[in-house]
Amino acid sequence: MPVSSTGPDSDETASSGGADAARASSGDTSATQTSKDSQEDGALPINELFYSLQGEGILAGVPSVFVRTSGCNLRCWFCDSYHTSWEPTHARMGLDEIVAEVESFERADHVVLTGGEPLLHEESVRLLERLSERGYHTTVETNGTIFRDAPIDLASISPKLENSTPTPERDPRGEQSGDGAGDDAESGQRSAGDSSRDSDGIASRHERDRIDLEAMARLVETYDSQLKFVVTDESDVTEVESILEDLRAASTASIAADDVLLMPEGATRDRLAETRTRVAELAMEHGFRYTPRLHVDLWNDAPET
């Protein structure tokens, strides 16, 4: 069910982070950290809602209903859900409407709440409560910068590494994202349409906010969880190991290597063909799990997969 038809969301919600994210992790739901609209009308900004196979992580291959919210507090240059982060679009859906749509997929008993960053929205908690009451297994896919108390069966935490930070050479609308627009990679110059992103400080905010150890520690202490990192080379694994060391020091939870998954970067089959073998080798070398991107292997970059 495509629902991304009502135009862009306000960047006030979509670009928050840092101190605001820390406040959200301790229970503060300020306007910059949650959707004001969802608080006011009991609805969520939904980019798409569909039935497919879980493509990543320990539940890869499980038939699931995906509820994708719009709005994110980070700006990964390789984001595979561009229209939930860089240019958010959505339709507002009430919780009753969302639950009814989920229930229409009669064979599914797993629901994945994803984004964007679904924990930006306070109403996500109430949606998860309703789904839990109906017996659904719920996975929440989160970047790990926000904690909320909710009935979550699996917290799929994807901390963002330095390789996610946008630069003039790594623009989400440039050649590396496949549309051939944006950067002049040789000169390192952005096209005129991207100048506002530099002046807005999006890259610096992303770099500042991408890791929140306090929120991540609460997530792994509270929920069954997996830590899923997008990796391209050995330097990324060095950063993964550093984050794990800091997280183990900050948390009372036991975090085993088996809880850590390395995932290749790539939203298309062609890009995955370039990255996945090396990431699989790195997983074996360091004793971590490797996770495929099954949906990309099966359907490439088609929507609602």
Cα–Cα separations (whole angstroms), residue 242 to 228, 239, 245: 14, 5, 5
Residue 66 in marked binding region? no
Span 43-167+198-299 CATH architecture: Alpha-Beta Barrel (3.20)
Cα–Cα separations (whole angstroms), residue 269 to 38, 295, 297: 36, 10, 6
- Average pLDDT of the chain, as a whole number: 83
Residue 50 in marked binding region? no
User: What is the pTM for the complete model shown?
Assistant: 0.81
Q: Which of 4-8, 88-92, 159-163 has the lowest mean pLDDT?
A: 4-8
Which pLDDT belongs to residue 249? 98
Residue 159 in marked binding region? yes
Residue 55 in marked binding region? yes
50 — phi, psi (to 5°)? -155, 170
Please tell me whether residue 47 adopts helix, strand or coil conformation: strand
Residue 293 in marked binding region? no
More confidently predicted of 158 and 305: 158
Looking only at the bridges linking them, the beta strands covering 137-142 and 260-264 are unpaired
Average pLDDT over residues 236-265: 97
pLDDT tens figures, 30-39: 334 445 555 5
Average pLDDT over residues 222-237: 97
Residue 291 in marked binding region? no
Residue 229 in marked binding region? no
Residue 78 in marked binding region? yes
Residue 15 in marked binding region? no
Compute the distance between CA of residue 44 and CA of residue 172 in angstroms, rounded to an integer: 25
Residue 114 in marked binding region? yes
Residue 288 in marked binding region? no
Residue 269 in marked binding region? no
Question: Cα dihedral angle (132, 20, 167, 237), rounded to 10 degrees?
Answer: -60
Residue 148 in marked binding region? no
Residue 191 in marked binding region? no
Residue 172 in marked binding region? no
